[in-house]
Amino acid sequence: MDYLELVQQLEQRQVLSTPAIIAAFRAMRRDKFLPADVVEFAGEDHPLPIGHGQTNSQPYTVAFMLELLQPRAGQRILDVGCGSGWTTVLLAHIVGATGQVIGTERVAELAGRARQRINAAAIDNACIEHTPEQMGYPQRQPYDCILVSAAATQLPAELVEQLAEGGVMVIPVQHSIYRIEKTATGLASDEYPGFSFVPLLS
């Protein structure tokens, strides 16, 4: 299946429903962020290997998480475990010229490849940081939104700290996706079970 056909299917199933997120999926094609040996499968709705035991996530799952996150123009967003850089550019398209996206990746080779792909796509409101020894990127906190694309064993306190008050984090914890909102009085969360992710490196 062609990638854009897959996007259309996700729209028809109402997995994708927000206009800005749909526009990002259509503009930032998955195949531009895949290794050559799997690029022909860009339109398949399943994870694809990108090396070092990591994957480019299933498009259904990425769409589901972005719809929970509801990123908006002008926001500063942290993309943890950005892997191939695809989620980073999707977010960059949504936040636009007045926003900024910081992708973090612990594997040096993957971070380098993601950086090259973002440069090739002429994306100037996003960057990739190689972060082998820290969780997230506290140097630029607080963040309006945080997206995490690997499964934690428990909610990382370091990422909660980096989230702005009123901000939203979408993160897999074990086999569920959680939407976490940081309020003045604490955290509000919603759980969506039944997902599988590579582990979040700590």
For residue 84, being part of any structural domain is answered with: yes
Read off the pLDDT of residues 62-71 as tens digits, 9 standing for 90 and up.
Answer: 999 999 999 9
pTM: 0.95
- In the chain, helix, strand, coil percent, each to 5? 35, 30, 35
Tell which residue, 72, 119, 132, 75, has the closest CA to residue 101: 75
- Could you tell me if residue 201 is inside a domain? no
Residue 9 lies in a domain: no
Number of structural domains in the chain: 1
Q: Which residues are catalytic?
A: 57
Distance CA 9, CA 135 (A): 35
Domain-embedded: residue 150: yes
**91 within a domain of the structure (yes/no):** yes
Residue 143 CA to its chain's centroid (Å): 14
Residue 178 located in a structural domain: yes
pLDDT for position 196: 79
Assigned domain for 17 exists: no
Amino acid 201: pLDDT: 66
Q: Give the mean pLDDT of the chain.
A: 95
- The answer to whether residue 2 scores a pLDDT higher than 70 is yes
Checking if the pLDDT of 202 tops 70, the result is no
Residue 187: give the domain boundaries.
Answer: 61-193
Residue 167 resides in a domain? yes
Check which CATH number belongs to the domain holding 75 and give it: 3.40.50.150
